Structure 1
């Protein structure tokens, strides 16, 4: 499968400060990919290099097999910075038509394309309005519509749901999920639960180094379940530990537990056994996750 993004031994410094150190990763067509890390880890610098906004010192970077920002890439790759907004002085239709024409659409085609992308983000009825007439969440969707113009293969979204209320954040996640069959998204976000819902691959940056890049539900021959209980029970750990195959039950924080176990042939799946014990012992739980949560994998 051909690479959408391929980065080899990438290094970037600003003066004497090295911001990215020997970064290596590959993104192929498929489910959204997450880019996470603390503030100052190098995420914005990496995004800027992928977009061709800034040069790098050494290594190699290719987008769709081409050098970033070249003409061959532009109509197949788009990026939306965190604070990107449409111009408040002009109606959404005028702006999207203008951007479509910059991509090579004719005047007639640009009208069709503007309608198409607004329909994809649920704003078909907001075609003629100006951005400030929309709610914050709707303005965010309008910005995402711009990134969808020309049907790119690859889109980078930086903090796509930052500052949105839960409903509008859910709307954005649904847009990404619905379009992921045709478009590969690279998502930056501090909301790990959001990324956990959307992404199978994670690029974790810390101090300019890539630390982890795969979401794992197992480790060698061990499998994991993460449980969040509603209350503690005196016999909980002992009962779970007695299940055949269970290797360890550890308290993570609060009422959250991590169970490591080995699959035993011809035995019921551990999650089914756990639910049976919940019913038998009248245990109340609030969440059951297959594998480790993304937060626990990274930190």
Structure 2
């Protein structure tokens, strides 16, 4: 059974259409990224999936059930971007309340609150109120709330927005650790972060599904075309393109952003092209900042 099926999904308000006939199918497994500019329809899609609002037209199911159905109780959870904690109560007491709302007994809710706070490395802070916590700690508490009851699907809206690198990495590590038992759908503008975490990307723009990208090579077949993405520094673009084109196996060298180049090559004919490229850079006394095997997610979504 599919995780999510959307068929011709439309959402209209009085004078504006926010979603224009979205159709896609998602499977359980590795995290799924939802990307697009502000106003693309990401929050509206999240709200429909959570059952907060209904589509104007079309159909959507989660595990074969309609969003908001009692059959999805405890199976689907969400973290809105600006989720707030009640300043009057300790974080343990708040999470116990949410657990009890999901059917846990008082004793069970205490254990469940302690479990999810431990997952988020907040066991030492469970008696504290939100005002005593840093922004990153409050964000982790909100994610802990979304994990109560071990839901099968968790929707996270900008889970690392505004966090310092350490807290952001902690959250990525938690998502990676739990991905085997819980499927995450993550809405974010941080493409580099999503590229580390996700296996599938939905790209929305102006309420339309621009593309659905699979970041994995799931069939196990040897690819006939592969890519290197290199960020150069202090190098003539024309000289770089003309020189790299002469390397064995290279079929194209395409400038993208400033000082960024995407190299298309046959990995069967040139399995060690990355090493050849580094030798070429050294021999020509060029400087480079980054070399990535494959296209970056940004290149895959926006290069055309």
Structure 2: stretches of 5+ with no match in the other structure: 218-222
Q: Which of 260, 270, 286 does residue 273 from structure 2 map onto?
A: 270
Q: Secondary structure at the match of 2:161?
A: coil
Q: Is the 8 A contact 1:92 1:131 kept in 2?
A: yes
SS state of the match for residue 290, structure 2? strand
Aligned partners of 1:222 and 1:260 also within 8 Å:
yes
Stretches of structure 1 lacking an aligned partner (at least 5 in a row): none
Deviations 1:184-208 (A, max 9, x none): 1100111111111111211111111
Q: Which residue of 2 aligns with 1:110?
A: 109
What does residue range 76-115 of structure 1 map to in structure 2 within 5 Å?
Answer: 76-115=75-114
Query: Secondary structure of 2:12's match?
Result: strand
Q: Could you say what secondary structure the match of 1:232 adopts?
A: coil
Question: Does 2:120 align with 1:152?
Answer: no
Three-state SS of the structure 2 residue aligned to 1:175 is helix
CA–CA distance in 2 between the matches of 1:263 and 1:157? 36
TM-score (norm 2): 0.92
Quick check: 1:259 aligned with 2:263? yes
Change over 3 Å in CA distance of 1:146–1:216 after alignment to 2 = closer
Q: Distance in 2 between matches of 1:31 and 1:196?
A: 12
User: Alpha carbons of 1:217 and 1:253: their partners in 2 closer, same or farther (altered >3 Å)?
Assistant: farther
> Following the alignment from structure 2 to structure 1, what is the Cα–Cα distance between the partners of residues 214 and 257?
21
Corresponding residue for 2:24?
A: 25
Alignment partner of 2:109: what SS?
A: helix
Matches within 5 A, 1:241-260: 241-260=245-264
Deviation at 1:168, TM superposition (A): 1.7
Q: Does 1:288 align with 2:295?
A: no
Match of 1:11 in 2: 10
Indicate conservation of the 8 Å contact 2:199/2:216, yes or no. no
The answer to whether the Cα contact below 8 Å between 1:85 and 1:140 also exists between their aligned partners in 2 is no
Q: Which range moved further: 247-256 or 230-239? A: 230-239
Q: Which moved more, 1:165-174 or 1:99-108?
A: 165-174
Distance 1:289 1:270, change over 3 A: same
Q: Tell me, what secondary structure is at the counterpart of 2:85?
A: coil
1:172 and 2:171 aligned: yes
Show the counterpart of 1:199.
198
Name the residue aligned to 1:64. 63
Moved more, 2-11 or 153-162: 2-11
Q: Please tell me the root mean square deviation across aligned C-alpha atoms, in Å.
A: 1.8
How far apart in 2 are the matches of 1:73 and 1:231?
Answer: 55
When normalised by structure 1's length, the TM-score is 0.93
Q: Distance in 1 between matches of 2:142 and 2:41?
A: 24
1:298 counterpart residue number: 301
1:163 correspondence with 2:167 = no
Q: Kindly state the Cα deviation for residue 298 of structure 1 after the two structures are TM-superposed.
A: 1.7
Contact 1:40 1:207 in 2 (8 A): yes
SS of the counterpart of 1:100? helix
Give distance in 2, aligned partners of 1:268 and 1:138.
Answer: 45
Q: How much does 1:91 deviate?
A: 0.3
Structure 1 equivalent of residue 233 of structure 2: 230
- Counterpart of 2:181 in structure 1 is 182
Q: Note the C-alpha offset of 1:293.
A: 1.4
In structure 2, distance between residues paired with 1:48 and 1:268: 45
* CA shift digits 1:229-256 (9 cap, x unpaired): 2331575333311112211112222221
**1:217 and 1:292 in contact (8 A); partners too:** no
